[in-house]
Amino acid sequence: MKMNLELISPGFCGGAQPKTRAEIRVPAIRGQLRWWFRLLGGFASLRQKGMGLREQEDTIFGAARKDKCQASQLHVRVRIMRSAQSTPKNLCDMQQSYDYLLFPLRPAEQKKNPNALQEAKRAVFDDCLPSFELYLNWRGDAEWVADIEALGFLFGYLGSLGMRSRRAMGALAFAPDNDQRIPPFAEVIRHFAEPDSFCIREIAMADREDPVSVLAAWLRNWRAYLNHNMEPNEGAPGFSYAKNDHDVGFHFEKQGQTTYRPALGLPIIQRYRNANPTVNWEPAEEGMERFASPVILRPYRSPHTGLKKALVFFVDKYAWPPQAEVVLRSKFTKEEHHKVSLEMYQRMKQDPKLSLVKELSPD
């Protein structure tokens, strides 16, 4: 199958030279296809025949384990249609409303070197966004073709590429010049075994509003202690949770306190204005260095109407594990373990500013 896709938000698509050149890369696309395939539990038709997720995945994407080596049956190819030169930029060059979403890209040495933010550059598709043809060539059993095509269409509907893709960057959409029918989303999602693994909501926005800015403001109102003026974000729906975690970080030597923001992703780097050292929040489970956020922000453009939307995905399947703890560390204090509550995560899902997306309903 062939689809024409394009980026609709800035893409930090780092390749061999991530600081100087962004690229649309096949390995990144394969990784995204595999992620969506796993999330949705594989294909429903194959599960009904008794084929488990691992066996399906090995057949499609290949396997290289001690007990099994198998070549991939799915060949992915990309052809750039609208060439876009990426630009090495620092965060000061990006839209100010994006600052909150791009904070983790700030250089670690910013405190010691006031010019670090200006000097640290990353290649990004921003001023001109690329368009490309995506080819998915299936070399396996012909009975799988319809399912493989559904995976491709799902990627076109909801996919993204590059760093900060969970935070609205690198969002994809079907290009207007597709020469084949784009099936309705409900027709696509029914090919998968676990379509309820995540839910999609939208934030209401005006016609000319930028979806990335809308998503950034929404997340900040739930997650941040400070607003864009660097003042306490009082009145925001998540302020009490953010203040709680701010205070826990300030006095984290009191072991066993309840925290909320780790359920939205780790690690967290907490910096204070006074002499307090930086506090690092990390998963307490040994060998687990990070926890990917189950709240995904995604700009979207309908292939049927052309309307833009600001979407939020809640991936319950990958929510914070029950009973798991977070560990807080700083330079001068011994580490302490604290509890993580899902209360804020659940309240975010019930935010009255969010609504169902009829076009992306599985029914």
**pLDDT in the model for residue 178:** 84
Per-residue pLDDT reduced to its tens digit, 144-160: 999 999 999 999 999 99
pLDDT band per the 50, 70, 90 thresholds, residue 53: very high
Residue 35 has pLDDT above 70, yes or no: yes
Residues 353, 358, 362, 363, CA torsion sign? positive
Q: What's the token pair of residue 163? A: 């760093």
The most confident of 33-47, 270-284, 328-342, by mean pLDDT: 33-47
Residue 117 predicted with pLDDT over 60: no
Q: What is the mean pLDDT of residues 272-300?
A: 90
Helices 145-158 and 26-39, axial angle in degrees (round to 10)? 100
Dig out the tokens for 111 from the structure.
Answer: 């405190």
Question: What phi-psi label fits residue 50: left (phi over 0), alpha (psi between -120 and 50 degrees) or beta?
Answer: left
pLDDT at position 118: 56
0.75 cut: is pTM over it?
yes
Given this model, what pLDDT does residue 113 score? 59
Confidence of residue 115 (pLDDT cuts 50, 70, 90): low
pLDDT at residue 282, as a whole number: 96
Q: Is pLDDT above 60 for 316?
A: yes
Give yes or no for residue 224 having a pLDDT over 80: yes
| Across 202-219, average pLDDT | 95
| Token reading at 250 | 């300030």
User: What are the residue boundaries of the structural domains of the chain, listed by start?
Assistant: 1-194, 198-363
Q: Which residues, including other chains, have CB under 8 Å from residue 215's CB and lie 6 or more apart?
A: 101, 167, 168, 203, 297, 298, 299, 310, 312
Q: How far apart are CA 218 and CA 215, in angstroms?
A: 5
Transcribe 117-167 into DSSP letters: HHH--EEEB-SS--EEEEEEEE-S-GGGHHHHHHHHHHHHHH-B-SBTTTB
pLDDT at 116: 58
The percent of residues in the chain predicted with pLDDT above 70, rounded, is 94
- First-to-last CA distance in the chain? 25
pLDDT of residue 333: 76
**Range 61-76 average pLDDT:** 90
User: Per-residue pLDDT for 57 more than 60?
Assistant: yes
Select the more confidently predicted residue: 80 or 119. 80
